[in-house]
C-alpha cells in the first residue's frame, strides 16, 4: 500500500486526504491543531504526532498550508526527508518555491511543486487542475498519485513555473470577480434587469462561467461556506503583484484592486467567499 503524508488539513487538505483514503492509500495527516484530525482518523487516516521523521517511508509529503513561509517552517521541522518527494499544493510565490526546493534538497528529499486550481468539491471528485513544476522524471514518478486528484495533471515547466501559473490564474479570479461586480452594480442602478444583462453577456466572447457561478451569491449577499476566502484572494493578489514587479511588469492597473481588497482586512469579509468583494464595490462599505 502506497504511503503518503498530508500536512495541513484545512478545507482542501481534508478533501485531498479523503480522496486518497478512498483510493486505497495509507495516509498520515498532520495539523497544527491535532483536534482537527479526529474525523480523518475515523476514516482510517493516521495522525502524525511528531513532525520530525514523518517523511520516512512516505512516497510523498503533500503540503496544503497557508503560505510559503509556513510551508518552509513545517518542512524544516520534518528533518531528514529520506528521498521522499515534497509536493506543495498551496499557493506560493516563485521565489518562495525555488527556495523551498533548495531547502528540500538539503534535507535529502525531492521537490515537485503541484499547486492546484479548485477546492473541496473538485478534490473529492479527483477533478483538481494540477500545474506541476519540477523535473520531468520526478513528475512521471508521481503522476499515478496525482492522477487520483486530477483527471489530467500537467507539468508546466521547471520549479517556479507552477507557482507562476497559479498566481496568474488567481489574479484572473480577482480581476474577473471585480469587473463583474462593477458591471453588475452599474446596470442595476441604471434599471436594467439582471437577467436581461446576463442574456446579452452569456453568448458573448466576454462571458466567463465564474459570472454565473457567483451571480446568486452577489445578488443575495450570501457569502458563507467559502471554498476560497477573501483573505486568501487578497494574499494571492499581493503575491502576484510582488512577482510581477520583480519581473518588470506594469502593475498600476491592479494596484487599485489591491487597495480595494485591503479594505476588507480584519473585517467580517475576510473569512467569507471571495466574491464578497462585491460588497466593496458599493460606496457605503
For the chain, give every residue range classified as CATH 1.10.1040.10.
163-281
Residue 233 has pLDDT above 70, yes or no: yes
For the chain, give every residue range classified as CATH 3.40.50.720.
3-158
Residue 284 has pLDDT above 90, yes or no: no
Say if strands 26-30 and 46-47 run parallel, antiparallel, or are unpaired: parallel
Per-residue model confidence as pLDDT tens digits over 256-271: 999 999 999 999 999 9
Per-residue model confidence as pLDDT tens digits over 183-221: 999 999 999 999 999 999 999 999 999 999 999 999 999
Residue 50 has pLDDT above 90, yes or no: yes
CB 43 within 8 A of CB 21: yes
pLDDT of residue 285: 56
CATH H-level superfamily of 3-158: NAD(P)-binding Rossmann-like Domain (3.40.50.720)
Handedness of CA 35, 76, 91, 249 (dihedral sign): positive
Say if strands 60-63 and 85-88 run parallel, antiparallel, or are unpaired: parallel
Side-chain-side CA neighbours of 108 within 13 Å: the count stands at 9
Identify the band that residue 283 occupies on the pLDDT scale cut at 50, 70 and 90.
confident
> Mean pLDDT across the chain, nearest whole number?
96
**What is the fold of 163-281?**
1.10.1040
The rounded distance, in Å, linking the Cα atoms of 71 and 188 is 44
The rounded distance, in Å, linking the Cα atoms of 183 and 207 is 12
Higher pLDDT, 124 or 285: 124
Amino acid at each position: 500500500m502506497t504511503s503518503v503524508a498530508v500536512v495541513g488539513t484545512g478545507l482542501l487538505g481534508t478533501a485531498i486526504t479523503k480522496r486518497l483514503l478512498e483510493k486505497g492509500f495509507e495516509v498520515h495527516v498532520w495539523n497544527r491543531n491535532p483536534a482537527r484530525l479526529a474525523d480523518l482518523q475515523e476514516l482510517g487516516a493516521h495522525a502524525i504526532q511528531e513532525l520530525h521523521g514523518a517523511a520516512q517511508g512516505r512516497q510523498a509529503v503533500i503540503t496544503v498550508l497557508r503560505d510559503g513561509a509556513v510551508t518552509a517552517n513545517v518542512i524544516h521541522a520534518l528533518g531528514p526527508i529520506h528521498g521522499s518527494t515534497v509536493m506543495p499544493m498551496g499557493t506560493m510565490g516563485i521565489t518562495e518555491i525555488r527556495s523551498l526546493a533548495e531547502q528540500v534538497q538539503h534535507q535529502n528529499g525531492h521537490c515537485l511543486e503541484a499547486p492546484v486550481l479548485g477546492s473541496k468539491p473538485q478534490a473529492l471528485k479527483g477533478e483538481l487542475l494540477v500545474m506541476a513544476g519540477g523535473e520531468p522524471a520526478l513528475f512521471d514518478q508521481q503522476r499515478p498519485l496525482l492522477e487520483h486528484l486530477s483527471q489530467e495533471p500537467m507539468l508546466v515547466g521547471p520549479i517556479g513555473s507552477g507557482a507562476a501559473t497559479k498566481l496568474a490564474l488567481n489574479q484572473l479570479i480577482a480581476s474577473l470577480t471585480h469587473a463583474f461586480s462593477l458591471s453588475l452594480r452599474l446596470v442595476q442602478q441604471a434599471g436594467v434587469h439582471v437577467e436581461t444583462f446576463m442574456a446579452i453577456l452569456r453568448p458573448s466572447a466576454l462571458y466567463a462561467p465564474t459570472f454565473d457561478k457567483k451571480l446568486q451569491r452577489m445578488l443575495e449577499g450570501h457569502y458563507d461556506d467559502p471554498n476560497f476566502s477573501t483573505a486568501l484572494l487578497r494574499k494571492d493578489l499581493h503575491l502576484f503583484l510582488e512577482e510581477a514587479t520583480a519581473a518588470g511588469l506594469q502593475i498600476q492597473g491592479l494596484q487599485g484592486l489591491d487597495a480595494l481588497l485591503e479594505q476588507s482586512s480584519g473585517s467580517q469579509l475576510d473569512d467569507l467567499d471571495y466574491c464578497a468583494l462585491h460588497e466593496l464595490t458599493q460606496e457605503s462599505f
